[in-house]
Amino acid sequence: MNWSKAKTILIIVFLIADIFLFYELYPSAIQSRNAIDDEKVQEVMEYLGNKGVFVNCTIPKASRPKKPLSVKYKSFDSQFALEKFFQNPQDISIHQYEDKTIIEDEEIYL
C-alpha cells in the first residue's frame, strides 16, 4: 500500500469532516451564547437598580455580539448640571442623598 497516498486521503477526509462539523455546530453555539433568558434580564435589572440605574425599555431576547462598553464616571456640581442639561429650572426636582444628588424633570434624570 502506498502510505503517502493513504495519508493524503485521510488528511482530506478529516479536513472535510472538520469543516462540516464547524458549520453544523458553530452557528448554534453563537446563538445560544447571545440568547438572553428572563432570569438573566431580571438579575441585571436588579443589579442596576441597586446601583441607581433604572431601565425603562424592553430588552431584546437575542442580539449580535458587541464590543464591551466601558463607562467612566464624571462628577460635576449641581449648578453645572442645571445650566447644561435643563432648560426650564422651575419644573426641576432635586433630591439630596448622602452619596449622590438626583436632579430630574419630565424628560431628564441625572
C-alpha cell of 41?
Answer: 434580564
Mean pLDDT of 5-16: 93
- Predicted local distance difference test score (pLDDT) of residue 27: 67
Structural domain of 50: 1-63
Residue 45 has pLDDT above 80, yes or no: yes
C-alpha R_g of the chain: 27
Q: Report the domain count for the chain.
A: 2
Q: Which amino acid is at 49?
A: G
Identify whether the C-beta of residue 63 lies closer than 8 Å to the C-beta of residue 34: yes
- Predicted local distance difference test score (pLDDT) of residue 30: 59
Same domain, 77 and 49: no
Residue 101 has pLDDT above 80, yes or no: no
Same domain, 4 and 52: yes
Average pLDDT, the chain: 79
Same domain, 6 and 57: yes
Residue 69 has pLDDT above 90, yes or no: no
- Predicted local distance difference test score (pLDDT) of residue 60: 76
pLDDT confidence of 63, banded at 50, 70, 90? low
What does the DSSP assignment read for 60-108?
Answer: PSB----PPP--------HHHHHHHH-S-GGG-EEEE-SS-EEEE-SS-
Same domain, 56 and 78: no
